[in-house]
Amino acid sequence: MGITLSLASVEVAMLAGVRVAAFLVIAPPFSHRGIPNRIKAMLAVALGLLAGPRAAEAAGPQIGTAMASGTAMFVGDLVLQVVIGLALGFLVSLTFAAVQAAGNLIDLFGGFQLAQAFDPMMQTNGAQFSRLYTMTAIVLLFASDAYQLVIAGLVRSFEALPLGTPLNLAAMAQAGTEGLTQLFLAALQVAGPLIVVLFLADVGLGLLTRVAPALNAFALGFPLKILMTLTLGVTAYTALPTIVAALTGTAVTRMLEVGQ
């Protein structure tokens, strides 16, 4: 028994697999270095084969015309799919960076920033809350099957941005600008209440120092702020499942908007 594969279907699968592979390199949770590269490559091949028929149907005769133009055109299409995959992955990573940014704000105002260290898994510098929030977000993406929504959004991008269609730079720039704005807004929404409490604590310690300088209130303030950060940080931590679910929907929507 022999299996016959048309050259067009193989080329479509290759183009789709290249976009998926570029996406997995930069988009969370698959970008985490704890996931072996073999798994990423196998997942890219599998998703490329599964998304191939859908991608060919969405591209229509345009993809066949591009393939018939020769090797140079096909190599150019491969490079284009790499750029598109990286762009979509960047939008997803920009969306979920709000969790890490919220952790950084808590570390900064809580005094934990002095103990920051390099995280080889995430390739970033961060202190305790930053790393805790980032790892929790990755765990929640896998535990709640939210990663499946991210993959589904990537597969749907073949309809919003078919093979052979160049990336809309204007839409990409607008999505990146909105994503950066929403990053700061979401980080403040997560860490804002705790930041306000810590700021008021600093103000209170400053007033206490003015009233009774001999008490050395700021020396007492460091353990007090650590206690308040650990106590009140639990409130923001328990809200992470809802936040990750909302960020997942935002990331998928932002990916699809690039092709419009």
- The 10s digit of each residue's pLDDT in 182-197 is 888 888 888 888 888 8
pLDDT-wise least confident of 99-103, 110-114, 160-164 = 110-114
* Structure tokens given for 53: 């028929």
Supply the pLDDT for residue 226: 80
- The 10s digit of each residue's pLDDT in 115-167 is 666 666 666 666 678 888 888 888 888 888 888 889 988 888 888 888 878 88
Q: How confident is the model at residue 23 (pLDDT cuts 50, 70, 90)?
A: very high
Taking CA atoms, 69 is separated from 12, 73, 77, 81, 82, in Å, by 14, 6, 11, 17, 20
Q: Cβ neighbours of residue 116 under 8 Å, at least 6 residues apart? A: 107, 125, 126, 127, 130
How far apart CA 131 and CA 103 sit, in angstroms, is: 7
| Span 233-241, average pLDDT | 81
Residue 64 clears pLDDT 60, i.e. is over it: no
